[in-house]
Amino acid sequence: MKVLKKIFYVGSFISLVSCSTYDDTEKEVAKPFTNSTYPELMQPIRQSVVDADVSGALDSYKKNISDNPEIEILDDLEIARLEQLNDNFETSIKTYSKAIDTIPKTNDQIEDDAKEVILNKDTYDYYENKVKYSIPDYSITFLYTYQALNYLKSHDLKKALETLKGLDYAKNWLDEQDMISAGMRELGKDYFNRYEVSTQTLGLKYFDDLNKMVTFTKRVPDAYGNPLSYYLKAMLIEATSKDYESALDEINNARKYTLGNKSLERTALEYKRAVYHQLSPFPMGMGRIVILYEQSFINARQKTKTKLDLGDLGLINFSFPFYSPDYDFLSPVKVVISDEKDNKLLETQTEILMDTTLYSMKSLVEEYSRILTKNVLIELAKQSYDKNAKGLGGLLGNHLKFDLSKTEPKRADLRSWLLLPNSIQLFEQVADSGKYIIIVNNIRQKIRIEQGKTTLVWIVDIGKFKKVFYFII
């Protein structure tokens, strides 16, 4: 409450008097996109990548989508990923760094960001969500992970590891959403009290799509942990400091999010032995082969409509973002390891490390308290004005624009980072030093395993686009 008092003390200086009606001339202004159509606009960009035309995807994104203030930060994520896939690593580093600079890293920064959202009149615009995109927790973990990949390509292992230390900031986003939700409830308490509306009275048990997401995402504890990030961090700790106990901690973090992954269990056992015996996790003359396999693209947000009970105002239609849980996890892919003369030594398969859509869905569930609070507050205000109730005053004032002849609900915000992978799969094996050939789902790569080191093969497989990042660390 101390934080909220600080926020509303600032808000008391804002003088806003009454609600204004919606001006049709504003509706006619051409816009390059709306936040509710972002997945549709991104579809040709993703298709260009599927067709192995990353340069074309980058040009098309900059021409048709980029440079809109509402998605400035999302621009950085999408463009930096395309630059990375196009081998422009220095540009990708600079662009990812811009996004990283926006992530709150202290309690004061969390409070400032929350206050900016709560007191920003664009937050309460009924017809278009003009709130600037904020990077959610699961995307923050990928942001740091892909930046670490850039530093690996620059042969800077220490910088890559230092970057991954920022993973803990991902939880700050969730704390910020809770703070924003609480601030909005305080801001609109007169409306909530007048109509006796609360979370318990909305009838959320009938909101089937939300309940399906809640049930589906129970398989992971939260969305701010990322098993890919933790695994990579463990490998880098081992490579740079031989601190096997800290590396084991990161592997155990990854295990919390991935049930029964044999590769993770095997790596954990290797580190436990190393900690116990104070020796290298590898037998003499052996090293490790690790395959990280990214496949396809993450699912896009969809919109769903539901009716919520707003007390005396009755059942009101709402449009919300959601992810359909009616999809199958991608199957493991075949891995073949041969000697340099192409004699097959091992045929096995990967195991799923994480399904990215699952984490994005979990993050959306975490965000729903804020989404519900904001949309219900806006609708209460609109319905009150529509029914000639007492005019709006105070902080909400004329933040809201209404066309009283329109009955459609406020549009769902469907923005998300759409160049993330659908899933990441893992294969790990200790092997003798030497030269080998690996084939992963028909992608062929010559590799070398060195004593006491990890050979990391990071594969991106999206339709016709195939890319291999190859490291010995």
Work out the angle at residue 359's Cα, subtended by the Cα atoms of residues 430 and 317, and round it to the nearest 5 degrees: 165
pLDDT at 190: 86
Task: Please tell me the distance from the alpha carbon of residue 370 to that of residue 386, in angstroms, as a whole number.
Answer: 24
pTM of the predicted model as reported, rounded to 2 decimal places: 0.90
* Residues 233 and 161 sit within 8 Å (Cβ to Cβ): yes
Q: What are the residues whose beta carbons fall under 8 Å from the beta carbon of 404, sequence distance 6 or more?
A: 21, 22, 385, 386
Helix (H, G, I), strand (E, B) or coil at 207: coil
pLDDT at 426: 96
Helix (H, G, I), strand (E, B) or coil at 390: coil
* Residues 433 and 320 sit within 8 Å (Cβ to Cβ): no
pLDDT at 278: 87
* Residues 451 and 432 sit within 8 Å (Cβ to Cβ): no
Angle between helix 137-153 and helix 170-187 axes, rounded to 10 deg: 150
Task: Please tell me the distance from the alpha carbon of residue 240 to that of residue 232, in angstroms, as a whole number.
Answer: 12
Count of CB atoms situated within 10 Å of the CB of 138 = 31
Count of CB atoms situated within 10 Å of the CB of 24 = 8
Question: Do β-strands 334-339 and 443-449 pair in parallel, antiparallel, or remain unpaired?
Answer: unpaired
pLDDT at 387: 56
Q: What is the pLDDT along the chain (473 residues), one digit of tens a residue?
A: 555 554 444 443 332 223 333 333 333 333 456 788 899 999 999 999 999 999 999 999 999 898 788 889 999 999 999 999 999 999 999 999 999 999 999 999 999 999 999 988 888 877 666 778 999 999 999 999 999 999 999 999 999 999 999 999 999 999 999 999 999 999 888 889 888 888 888 999 999 999 999 999 999 999 999 999 999 999 999 999 999 999 999 999 999 998 678 899 999 999 999 999 888 888 899 999 999 999 999 999 999 999 999 988 899 999 999 999 999 999 999 999 999 999 999 999 999 999 999 999 999 999 999 999 999 998 888 777 655 544 444 455 545 555 544 567 778 999 999 999 999 999 999 999 999 999 999 999 999 999 999 999 999 999 999 999 999 99
DSSP code, position 69: G
Domains of the chain: 2-472 (1.25.40.10)
What DSSP string runs through 21-77?
EPPHHHHTS--S--GGGHHHHHHHHHHHHHTT-HHHHHHHHHHHT-S-GGGHHHHHH
HEC letters along 81-116: HHHHHCCCHHHHHHHHHHHHHCCCCCHHHHHHHHHH
DSSP code, position 289: E
Count of CB atoms situated within 10 Å of the CB of 63 = 9
Task: Please tell me the distance from the alpha carbon of residue 307 to that of residue 376, in angstroms, as a whole number.
Answer: 11
